[in-house]
Amino acid sequence: MPTYTFPQDLRDSQLALHQTRAAYEQYARTLPWSAEPMPGWEGDKQLHSGYRSAKPDSPGYTDEQRQEVARFRAELLELSTQVATHPFWATLERGDIVEGRMVLQHTHEQQAAAEAA
C-alpha cells in the first residue's frame, strides 16, 4: 500500500467536508419528515411482529429551514468539488487515485489517534 503525502489544503478541505456533512445530518434529523406539508399515515400491521409503521402529519419546512438546507447543500457541493478536482490527484498514477481518495477520507482519524497517543 503506497503512502501519500497529501497537501494541507486538500486535508483541510476533506476535514471541512466531513464536518459539514456531520452538521448537515444532525440538522436534518431536526426537520419534519417531508419538505412539503403532507398528511400522516399508518401502515398495515406486520404479520409476525405486530409492528405498525406510522408517520405523523408533516407541516413541511419553513422558509428558514429551506434556506439552511440549501446552504448546507451548496457548501457540501463546493467542498466535494474542491476535494475531487484538487491538482494533487493528477500527480498519482491512475491505479492509485481511488486508493488515495479512500486513504484521504480517514487521514483525520489517523492524525487524531496519533495525537492522542
- pLDDT tens, 57-88? 999 999 999 999 999 999 999 999 999 999 99
Residue 113, phi then psi, degrees to nearest 5? -65, -40
Which of the two residues, 52 and 110, has the higher pLDDT score?
52
Taking the whole predicted model, whether its pTM rises above 0.85 is answered as no
Mean pLDDT of 30-43: 95
User: pLDDT value at position 1?
Assistant: 60
Mean pLDDT of the chain: 93
pLDDT at 111 over 90: no
Q: Where are the alpha helices (DSSP H) in 1-117?
A: 8-28, 63-84, 97-116
**SS3 assignment, position 61:** coil
Residue 33, Ramachandran bin (φ over 0: left; ψ between -120 and 50: alpha; else beta): alpha
Q: Grid coordinates 434556506 are at which residue?
A: 67
| Residue 96, burial from CB neighbour count under 10 angstroms (0-12, 13-18, 19+) | middle
Task: Work out the number of other CB atoms within 10 angstroms of the CB of residue 106.
Answer: 11
pLDDT confidence tier of residue 94, bands split at 50, 70 and 90: confident
Mean pLDDT of 88-107: 92
CA distance from start to end of the chain: 23
CA distance 49 to 52: 9
